[in-house]
């Protein structure tokens, strides 16, 4: 490659700005201006997150007893919600990394928001590790830091693996998200003024859109995709081992890793839909997020719904086929015991309702998509509730079975986690381009060249 | 700057760092202050043990009070004492807490004009009593329980010296009817003393001798010895229980005759008749046995059973125990007499039943108590001195005692802690707590037991005897002259002057042979043997009963006795009413629904507890609850002072007496009505259906006798295991007896388990951690295996479920009480619990839950079925523990002696270990239970050897590792290893039936190894291959009595 021609630096900066494209305008418009409705939502989210934070602070002061724990059920809504958010965090990386590697075109309109959701979901999930433990103020013990006392952590513990899985995944997600953002931040930089300009300038890392930069960028994304791809599969596998490595009937199953990964992708996609449908409508992004994307997302939901449904079936089949009485009993009570409602919510939301997507028009019918994806979110939260709570409440010694019911503080913190997540997402909408402009442009150019055929 | 060199710099740095550090801690200085004058016998850190006597019940068990730095912290049984032989019941274990009760009076208090208590000086207090008595001593009266023989004598002397109107001894649950029956049958008005150790057949007519009998610890030990399958022929003694509910004693019986309440006497006579015809002695003159058929009809039991058991009785070596006081009907004397006659017929008198000479001094009398109330009502009492009892609580409301107190000018209470009577008193002159008192007890003629203080009184209290002496001296010189000189202690030493006092103090008393009286002087003329008449208010017989932990409610303010659930129902912190399932259905109620019980006195409202093990025509309510005063006895601890905890069943009863003037409890036929209200019971066991899992196993006597070690338990099973044993555990041979028979004996058991995969057998002395070590360093033995692998055995054939082990565990290990509300959420901290299962259970899937989903119905109990399995469950110290690998911070780990050690400081509270524990023995501190729930000065009673756990930390049983450490230090000082039996866990030490063994499994000759090597041994949930350090021995099912 020959060096660029010698040219004074002032010449470079004085290059005429390229004409603003429609794509730029449409997408960056999301970031401009704020309506009272937006501020209302932000206020709601911030207040909600703070209320939950207050409850948490009280919990740290008073003790975990303000939750609904009972003797055999030592894990409750916090772990349920933790697993739920880790699951949500799967869509982003899946869409960005795996679908990138597979060159699935339809990912382009949704990957940015999905990546953002990943980062925020991991952040939300990570809160629950602290919320859940009995001595939050000692939770740094779980990190293998050198200390004079010669204390070390237990690498045999799935919770240890969890710590590493989540922190690795969080790191990769943030890096991935940021690298993908750089070209778009540069566009925002070019259009903004004042303090925002300063921040975007810093964040854009001097992006000029030169071919060398583009080349490095594409390489980075490709390599990061390669790195992130196994993580998509491993993170929720590791989370599933929190359960599968135990001897609790209902947890101790080899199917858990693929089962959890499928469930995570399922819930992640559902969350992307639940979030993006209102965004698309409010910010009039119909031209970018099209039926084509929804069609593909719906198909994906259909596929993962069936995998999840198959896993449920397998669990029950093995519980019966193994002839292990505690296992069979745990599963019987899962479906017909005091938690039957949770179980049937889970089955209906995750396995029955998504079947509507067999009917092709449903896949592009936006209200249907929104409703179904919301049900899937509910169903997937209940899936984790069912797995964790019902299994713990029916273990080996029937004298100490018990029934767990969540308490108000736990539900406030659960609601607070949604506020926490929403707060980040709402701020994200105004801070960064919600659709990857560069990628959409690339696709548009590509399509123009190839006659726009899908 | 030339003169500022490196040394100066370092000095400056050192000084400023030191100053900064000093400033940092200046605001919070804690100093360890040594004794200024070191007491001679106290070495800080070492326990000092005093021999004393338990004053909780008339059995008067010997105590060894363990004190640390001059504070009593734990009670153990005195091994030399003839009554309890080193064992204690749950109430005795909890009684150390009386010393540190938050409700103790800190000095004398008097009620002022406004009705509030205010402190006064002892001199003023004594003067007030003396002034009141001096005016009209004849209108003074002493009412109280049993303060011991010397103190009792002193009270009598005080009464006569001051010319008081009289002294009434009142005990809510006195054996008055038995004493009267003994007078009529044997001519000696004393309580017979039973010895069950050589019996072949024990018939309990409701004595509840394993939970709240005349001498529970003693009888439980004798019972266990009498039915030791290894030592006694034919599986040892059989037990028959006669009664209308499946009590704790019934649960440990071989046969249960579900007789109507009050018909025990008729049954006893009918049995005596059958026994007499089948080789027994003859009935006394003038007594004729009812026919078997008529007795069967009156008692509503099977005639065949009467015939069969009667024949068995005819073979002799039998003993019959009369009903407990709480089961006394208006014909209690006849009932007791009938049981004593049965003993005569079977030849037990003089051997298993011995009649001591009648006691001297005042004896409890309910009739006199009622008479006193009448006298008070009519204004005949001006000064009432109440000691060692709580009549306002324990007398029926209908007797009108509290109202009668209005007519008494000065009510003086000697209560140590606040109670209902003290709350109604004008003047409170607090007595010392038992651990601070001098005194004595007479467990039985021939044995004298001393009560000695173990530390200085915590507060400005005074012994009852000293207060009375002071009052007498203050009344006047004439009175003083009639009283002994000196203090109560000198009176006591005087009373013991015929003994070696110092020796008595060190040994706990003087224990001679039991004296027997002549039993030939009976006169049965006036007794009528018939079913008692009951009031006619409804169709259900109201059966009040005393539980082992709460008895008559005197210990209701000891939080341990509230916190630890009733061993039969697993209800804690509340009252309940037991009704049959049919009755519950008829009333349309389920567990926790409040029913109203209406007899001839006040109605009471109680949450209902439906169960299979009670007659349809009976409603049973435990005694002991319903207090309105006391931090723990009432709901004060929950912020509801003055609110009763549960109900006092005495309130529902009219004040009636039996033929001899004793208190009659069983007098009511009551009406039950559902109120529509509901209160969730604090219930600590979910289900009694063990679903055929390997918990609480039994073995039929025939199987045990017929098969011995080798065969019978699933053939292929046994062989395969033996192979695995041989191949994989070559070193098992080192452990001798584990080689063959042992391997086959346990595990297989039932056909129900036949479907399991073949399990790897293991030697409990081996340890997974050692194996891992050996695998990691195959050629190196630089890491020497520990000589110890601590193990525990639990003999389910001996366990009665009495729960004294749980109380001992709580006291020893500073286990926090969580209170009623947290108990409702099942967040108790017990390191040891007793699972109670009924039969093998059913793998029945449709599960019907009661409201609140915390209890399934129906219970599997059946009338007449005693296949109850009490399975104490503590940490199994697994060799391959599921809890250990899941802890991310190694807060729980395997130590080299096989214990799953807990590092509380390291625990961050992920609670994964507890989830992964199949035995569910781990407990989590959801709140800062330790500090917030223990009102001052209870913290003084904490065991300094055991860490106090804080909020957010997991805890569990650790085999009393602090005791192991103490023994290790002693052994190390003496240059030897820890000896077998040197370490006793708290649960083992107190177990009245010696069901728990503890020791080193790596020592073949240790007691625990021998116990574990038994054809009855199995491991709980062995299918999980956790390789527990706890070996259970199956309960033996002996079958019904053979005629």
Q: Angle between the A194-204 and A158-191 helix axes, to the nearest 10 degrees?
A: 120
User: Taking the CB of residue A225, how many other CB atoms lie within 10 A of it?
Assistant: 18
Chain A touched by B841 (CB under 8 Å): yes
Say if the Cβ atoms of B846 and A333 lie within 8 Å: no
Task: Please tell me which of the candidates A63, A159, A329 has its beta carbon nearest to residue B912.
Answer: A159
Say if the Cβ atoms of B953 and A329 lie within 8 Å: no
Tell me the pLDDT tens digit for each residue of A215-257.
999 899 889 888 888 888 888 899 999 999 999 999 999 999 9
Say if the Cβ atoms of B889 and A141 lie within 8 Å: yes
Tell me the pLDDT tens digit for each residue of B609-642.
999 999 999 999 999 999 999 999 999 998 999 9
Q: Which two tokens stand for residue A155?
A: 């690498």
Say if the Cβ atoms of A134 and B910 lie within 8 Å: yes
Confidence band for B362, pLDDT divided at 50, 70 and 90:
confident
Say if the Cβ atoms of B909 and A248 lie within 8 Å: no
Q: Per mean pLDDT, which range of A146-155, B55-64, B633-642, B824-833 is the poorest?
A: A146-155
User: Which residues does residue B791 pair with via DSSP β-bridges, in sequence order?
Assistant: B999
User: Measured between alpha carbons, how far is A153 from B902 in angstroms, rounded to an integer?
Assistant: 15
On chain B, the residues whose CB falls within 8 A of the CB of A395 are 918, 920
Number of A to B CB contacts under 8 A, please give it: 181
User: Measured between alpha carbons, how far is A102 from A99 in angstroms, rounded to an integer?
Assistant: 5
Say if the Cβ atoms of B926 and A65 lie within 8 Å: yes
Kindly state the average pLDDT of the residues B1035-1043. Answer: 89
Task: Give the pLDDT score at B730.
Answer: 37
User: Measured between alpha carbons, how far is A163 from A444 in angstroms, rounded to an integer?
Assistant: 41
Task: Give the pLDDT score at B721.
Answer: 38
Say if the Cβ atoms of B912 and A403 lie within 8 Å: no
Query: Of A195, A244, A207, A272, whose CA–CA distance to A388 is shortest?
Result: A244
As a whole-number percent, the residues of chain A with pLDDT over 90 amount to 61
Residue showing tokens 């399922």:
A266
Nearest CA in chain B to A129: B910
User: Where is pLDDT greater, at A311 or B725?
Assistant: A311
Say if the Cβ atoms of B916 and A247 lie within 8 Å: yes
On chain B, the residues whose CB falls within 8 A of the CB of A71 are 826-828, 920, 923
Residues 677-736, chain B: which have Cβ within 8 Å of A? 685-693, 695
Nearest CA in chain B to A323: B755
User: Measured between alpha carbons, how far is A7 from B287 in angstroms, rounded to an integer?
Assistant: 133
Confidence band for B735, pLDDT divided at 50, 70 and 90:
very low
Task: Give the pLDDT score at B714.
Answer: 38
User: Where is pLDDT greater, at A167 or A100?
Assistant: A167
Nearest CA in chain A to B822: A65
Q: Which two tokens stand for residue B14?
A: 């050192």
Kindly state the average pLDDT of the residues B218-227. Answer: 95
Q: Angle between the A366-385 and A77-88 helix axes, to the nearest 10 degrees?
A: 140
Tell me the pLDDT tens digit for each residue of B141-186.
999 999 999 999 999 999 999 999 999 999 999 999 999 999 999 9
- Phi, psi (deg, nearest 5) at residue B674: -75, 135
Sorted by where each begins, the domain ranges of chain A are: 22-133+172-449
Q: Which two tokens stand for residue B337?
A: 């007499």
Say if the Cβ atoms of A75 and B882 lie within 8 Å: no
B833 to chain A nearest CA, in Å? 10
Task: Please tell me which of the candidates A156, A338, A401 has its beta carbon nearest to residue B885.
Answer: A156
Task: Please tell me which of the candidates A63, A323, A325 has its beta carbon nearest to residue B952.
Answer: A63
Task: Give the pLDDT score at B748.
Answer: 38
Mean of the per-residue pLDDT values of chain B? 88
Q: Per mean pLDDT, which range of A11-15, B83-87, B614-618, B873-877 is the poorest?
A: A11-15
Confidence band for B723, pLDDT divided at 50, 70 and 90:
very low
Tell me the pLDDT tens digit for each residue of A392-410.
999 999 999 999 999 999 9
Confidence band for B70, pLDDT divided at 50, 70 and 90:
confident
Say if the Cβ atoms of B827 and A70 lie within 8 Å: yes
pLDDT at A94 over 90: no
Task: Give the pLDDT score at B749.
Answer: 38
Tell me the pLDDT tens digit for each residue of A179-204.
989 998 998 888 888 898 999 999 99
pTM confidence score: 0.91
pLDDT at B261 over 80: yes
Task: Give the pLDDT score at B46.
Answer: 87
On chain A, the residues whose CB falls within 8 A of the CB of B923 are 71
Tell me the pLDDT tens digit for each residue of A116-164.
999 999 999 999 999 999 999 999 999 998 888 888 999 999 999 999 9
On chain B, the residues whose CB falls within 8 A of the CB of A139 are 908
Tell me the pLDDT tens digit for each residue of B515-567.
888 888 888 777 888 888 899 889 999 999 999 999 999 999 999 999 999 99
Task: Please tell me which of the candidates A64, A135, A400 has its beta carbon nearest to residue B686.
Answer: A400
Task: Give the pLDDT score at B776.
Answer: 61
User: Measured between alpha carbons, how far is A88 from A381 in angstroms, rounded to an integer?
Assistant: 10
Task: Give the pLDDT score at B708.
Answer: 47
pLDDT at B720 over 60: no
pLDDT at A1 over 70: no
Nearest CA in chain A to B829: A71
Nearest CA in chain B to A75: B911
- Peptide bond connecting A260 to the previous residue in cis, omega within 30 degrees of 0: no
**Sequential DSSP letters for A13-55:** HTSPPPPPPHHHHHHHHTTS---HHHHHHHHHHHHHHHHHHHH
User: Measured between alpha carbons, how far is B551 from A15 in angstroms, rounded to an integer?
Assistant: 97
Tell me the pLDDT tens digit for each residue of B277-286.
998 888 888 8
pLDDT at B343 over 80: yes
B623 to chain A nearest CA, in Å? 26
Q: Which domains does chain B have, with CATH numbers?
A: 109-174+364-511 (3.40.50.740), 176-354 (3.40.228.10), 540-678 (2.40.40.20), 698-776 (no CATH)
DSSP state of A389: I
pLDDT at B810 over 70: yes
Nearest CA in chain A to B755: A323
Say if the Cβ atoms of B690 and A160 lie within 8 Å: no
> Side-chain half-sphere of A355: how many Cα atoms within 13 Å?
9
Confidence band for A390, pLDDT divided at 50, 70 and 90:
very high
As a whole-number percent, the residues of chain B with pLDDT over 70 amount to 89
Say if the Cβ atoms of B951 and A134 lie within 8 Å: yes
Helix residue ranges per DSSP H, B712-776: 715-728, 741-745, 768-776
A198 to chain B nearest CA, in Å? 43
User: Where is pLDDT greater, at B16 or B757?
Assistant: B16
On chain A, the residues whose CB falls within 8 A of the CB of B952 are 63-64, 133-136
Judge contact between B829 and B929, C-beta under 8 A.
yes
Helix residue ranges per DSSP H, B172-300: 176-186, 216-226, 248-251, 264-277, 292-299
Tell me the pLDDT tens digit for each residue of A336-372.
888 999 999 999 999 999 999 999 999 999 999 999 9
Confidence band for B781, pLDDT divided at 50, 70 and 90:
very low
Task: Give the pLDDT score at B988.
Answer: 96
Say if the Cβ atoms of B825 and A139 lie within 8 Å: no
On chain A, the residues whose CB falls within 8 A of the CB of B829 are none
Task: Give the pLDDT score at B713.
Answer: 40
Say if the Cβ atoms of A398 and B693 lie within 8 Å: yes
pLDDT at A379 over 80: yes
Nearest CA in chain A to B903: A151
Tell me the pLDDT tens digit for each residue of B424-458.
999 999 999 999 999 999 988 889 999 999 989 99
Judge contact between B365 and B658, C-beta under 8 A.
no
Say if the Cβ atoms of B915 and A157 lie within 8 Å: no
Tell me the pLDDT tens digit for each residue of A45-85.
999 999 999 999 999 999 999 999 998 999 999 999 999 99
On chain B, the residues whose CB falls within 8 A of the CB of A319 are none
Task: Give the pLDDT score at B673.
Answer: 96
pLDDT at B671 over 70: yes
pLDDT at B30 over 50: yes
User: Taking the CB of residue A43, how many other CB atoms lie within 10 A of it?
Assistant: 12
User: Measured between alpha carbons, how far is B192 from A248 in angstroms, rounded to an integer?
Assistant: 54
User: Measured between alpha carbons, how far is A408 from A393 in angstroms, rounded to an integer?
Assistant: 20
């Amino acid at each position: 490659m020959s060096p660029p021609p010698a040219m004074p630096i002032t010449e470079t900066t004085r290059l005429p700005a390229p004409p603003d494209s429609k794509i730029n305008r449409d997408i960056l418009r999301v970031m401009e201006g704020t309506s009272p409705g937006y501020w209302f939502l932000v206020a709601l989210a911030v207040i909600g997150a703070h209320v939950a934070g207050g409850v948490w602070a009280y919990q740290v002061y008073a003790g975990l007893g303000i939750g609904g724990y009972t003797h055999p059920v030592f894990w409750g809504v916090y772990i349920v919600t933790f697993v739920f958010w880790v699951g949500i965090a799967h869509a982003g990386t899946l869409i960005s990394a795996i679908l990138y590697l597979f060159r699935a075109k339809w990912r382009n309109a949704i990957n940015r928001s999905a990546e953002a959701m990943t980062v925020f979901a991991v952040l939300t999930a990570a809160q629950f590790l602290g919320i859940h433990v009995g001595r939050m103020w000692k939770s740094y013990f779980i990190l293998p830091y050198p200390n004079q006392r010669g204390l070390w952590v237990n690498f045999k513990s799935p919770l240890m693996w969890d710590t590493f899985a989540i922190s690795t995944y969080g790191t990769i997600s943030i890096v991935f998200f940021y690298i993908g953002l750089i070209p778009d931040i540069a566009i925002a930089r070019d259009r903004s003024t004042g303090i925002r300009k300063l921040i975007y300038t810093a964040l854009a890392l001097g992006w000029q859109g030169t071919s060398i930069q583009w080349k490095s960028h594409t390489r980075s994304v490709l390599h990061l995709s390669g790195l992130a791809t196994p993580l998509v599969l491993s993170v929720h596998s590791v989370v599933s081992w929190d359960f599968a490595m135990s001897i609790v009937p209902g947890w101790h199953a080899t199917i858990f890793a693929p089962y959890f990964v499928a469930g995570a992708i399922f819930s992640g996609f559902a969350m992307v839909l639940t979030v993006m449908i209102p965004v698309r409508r409010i910010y009039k992004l119909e031209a970018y997020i099209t039926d084509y994307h929804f069609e593909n997302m719906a198909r994906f939901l259909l596929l993962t719904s069936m995998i999840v449904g198959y896993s449920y079936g397998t669990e029950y089949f093995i519980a019966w086929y193994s002839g292990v009485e505690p296992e069979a009993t745990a599963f019987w009570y899962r479906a017909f015991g005091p938690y039957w409602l949770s179980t049937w919510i889970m089955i209906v939301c995750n396995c029955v309702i998504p079947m509507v997507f067999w009917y092709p028009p449903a896949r592009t019918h936006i209200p249907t998509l929104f409703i179904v994806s919301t049900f899937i979110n509910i169903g997937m939260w209940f899936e984790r509730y069912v797995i964790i709570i019902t299994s713990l409440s029916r273990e080996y010694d029937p004298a100490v079975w018990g029934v767990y019911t969540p308490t108000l503080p736990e539900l406030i913190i659960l609601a607070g986690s949604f506020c926490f997540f929403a707060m980040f997402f709402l701020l994200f909408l105004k801070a960064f381009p919600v659709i990857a402009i560069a990628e959409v442009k690339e696709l548009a150019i590509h399509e123009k060249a190839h006659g726009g055929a899908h | 700057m030339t003169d500022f060199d490196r040394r100066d710099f370092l000095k400056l740095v050192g000084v400023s760092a030191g100053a900064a550090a000093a400033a940092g801690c200046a605001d919070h200085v804690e100093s360890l202050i040594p004794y200024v004058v070191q007491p001679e016998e106290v070495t800080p850190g070492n326990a000092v043990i005093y021999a004393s006597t338990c004053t909780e019940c008339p059995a008067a068990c010997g105590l060894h009070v363990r004190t640390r730095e001059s504070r009593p912290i734990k009670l153990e049984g005195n091994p030399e004492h003839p009554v309890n032989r080193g064992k204690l019941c749950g109430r005795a274990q909890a009684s150390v807490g009386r010393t540190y009760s938050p409700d103790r009076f800190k000095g004398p208090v008097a009620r002022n004009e406004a009705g509030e208590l205010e402190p006064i000086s002892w001199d003023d207090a004594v003067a007030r009593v003396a002034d009141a008595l001096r005016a009209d001593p004849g209108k003074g009266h002493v009412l109280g329980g049993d303060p011991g023989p010397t103190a009792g004598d002193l009270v009598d002397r005080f009464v006569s010296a001051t010319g008081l109107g009289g002294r009434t001894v009142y005990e809510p649950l006195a054996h008055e009817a038995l004493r009267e029956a003994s007078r009529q049958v044997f001519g000696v008005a004393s309580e017979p003393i039973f010895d069950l150790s050589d019996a072949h057949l024990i018939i309990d007519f409701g004595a509840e001798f394993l939970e709240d009998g005349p001498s529970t610890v003693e009888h439980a030990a004798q019972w266990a010895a009498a039915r030791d399958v290894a030592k006694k022929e034919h599986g040892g003694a059989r037990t028959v229980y006669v009664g209308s509910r499946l009590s704790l004693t019934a649960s440990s019986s071989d046969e249960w005759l579900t007789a109507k309440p009050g018909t025990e006497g008729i049954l006893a006579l009918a049995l005596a008749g059958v026994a007499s015809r089948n080789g027994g002695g003859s009935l006394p003159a003038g007594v004729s046995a009812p026919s078997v058929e008529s007795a069967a009809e009156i008692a509503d039991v099977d005639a065949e059973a009467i015939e069969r058991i009667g024949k068995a009785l005819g073979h002799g070596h039998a003993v019959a125990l009369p009903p407990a006081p709480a089961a006394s009907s208006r014909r209690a004397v006849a009932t007791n007499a009938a049981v004593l006659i049965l003993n005569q017929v079977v030849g037990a008198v003089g051997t298993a039943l011995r009649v001591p000479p009648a006691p001297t001094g005042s004896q409890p009398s309910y009739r006199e108590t009622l008479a006193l109330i009448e006298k008070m009502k009519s204004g005949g009492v001006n000064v009432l001195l109440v000691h060692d009892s709580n009549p306002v609580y324990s007398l029926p409301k209908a007797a009108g005692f509290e109202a009668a107190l209005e007519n008494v000018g000065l009510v003086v209470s000697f209560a140590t802690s606040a109670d209902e009577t003290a709350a109604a008193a004008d003047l409170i002159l607090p007595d010392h707590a038992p651990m601070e008192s001098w005194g004595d007890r007479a467990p039985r003629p021939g044995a004298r037991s001393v009560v000695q203080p173990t530390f200085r009184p915590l507060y400005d209290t005074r012994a009852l005897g000293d207060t009375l002496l002071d009052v007498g001296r203050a009344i006047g010189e004439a009175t003083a002259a009639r009283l002994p000189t000196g203090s109560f202690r000198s009176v006591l030493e005087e009373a013991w002057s015929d003994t070696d006092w110092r020796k008595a103090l060190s040994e706990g008393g003087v224990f001679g042979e039991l004296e027997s009286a002549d039993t030939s002087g009976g006169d049965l003329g006036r007794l009528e043997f018939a079913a008692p008449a009951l009031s006619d208010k409804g169709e259900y017989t109201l059966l009040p009963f005393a539980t082992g932990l709460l008895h008559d409610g005197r210990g209701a303010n000891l939080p341990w006795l509230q916190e630890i659930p009733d061993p039969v129902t697993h209800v804690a912190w509340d009252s309940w009413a037991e009704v049959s399932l049919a009755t519950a259905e008829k009333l349309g109620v389920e567990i926790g629904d409040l029913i109203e019980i209406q007899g001839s006195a006040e109605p009471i409202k109680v949450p209902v507890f439906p169960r299979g093990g009670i007659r349809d025509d009976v409603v049973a309510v435990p005694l002991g609850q319903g207090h309105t005063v006391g931090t723990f006895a009432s709901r004060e601890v929950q912020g509801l002072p003055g609110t009763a905890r549960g109900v006092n069943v005495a309130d529902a009863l009219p004040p009636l007496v039996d033929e001899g003037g004793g208190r009659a409890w069983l007098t009511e036929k009551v009406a039950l009505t559902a109120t529509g209200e509901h209160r969730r019971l604090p219930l600590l066991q979910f289900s009694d259906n063990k679903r055929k899992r390997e918990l609480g196993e039994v073995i039929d006597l025939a199987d045990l006798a017929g098969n011995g070690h080798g065969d019978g338990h699933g053939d292929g099973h046994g062989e395969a295991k033996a192979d695995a044993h041989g191949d994989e555990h070559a070193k098992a041979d080192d452990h001798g007896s584990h080689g063959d028979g042992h391997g086959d004996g346990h595990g297989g058991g039932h056909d129900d388990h036949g479907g399991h995969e073949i399990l790897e057998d293991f030697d409990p002395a081996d340890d997974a951690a050692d194996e891992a070590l050996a695998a990691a360093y195959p050629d190196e033995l630089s890491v020497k295996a520990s000589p110890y692998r601590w193990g525990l055995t639990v003999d389910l054939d001996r366990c009665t479920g009495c729960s004294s082990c749980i109380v001992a565990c709580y006291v020893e290990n500073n286990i926090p009480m969580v209170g009623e509300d947290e108990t409702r959420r099942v967040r108790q901290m017990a390191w040891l619990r007793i699972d109670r299962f009924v039969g093998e259970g059913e793998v029945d899937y449709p599960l019907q839950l009661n409201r609140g989903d915390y209890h399934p119905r129906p219970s599997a109990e059946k009338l007449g079925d005693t296949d109850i399995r009490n399975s104490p469950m503590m940490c199994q110290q697994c060799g391959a523990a599921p809890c250990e690998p899941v802890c991310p911070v190694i807060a729980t780990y395997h130590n080299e002696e096989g214990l799953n050690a807990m590092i509380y400081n390291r625990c961050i509270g992920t609670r994964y270990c507890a989830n992964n524990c199949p035995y569910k023995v781990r407990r989590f501190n959801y709140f800062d239970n330790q500090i917030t729930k223990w009102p001052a000065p209870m913290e003084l009673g904490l065991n300094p050897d055991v860490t106090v756990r804080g909020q957010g930390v997991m805890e569990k049983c650790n085999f009393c590792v602090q005791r192991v450490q103490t023994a290790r230090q002693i052994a190390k000082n003496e240059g030897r290893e820890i000896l077998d039996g040197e370490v006793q866990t708290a649960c083992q030490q107190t177990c009245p039936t010696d069901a728990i063994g503890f020791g080193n499994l790596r020592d073949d000759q240790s007691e625990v190894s021998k116990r574990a090597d038994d054809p009855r041994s199995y491991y709980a949930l062995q299918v999980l291959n956790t390789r527990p350090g706890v070996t259970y021995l199956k309960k033996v099912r002996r079958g019904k009595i053979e005629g």
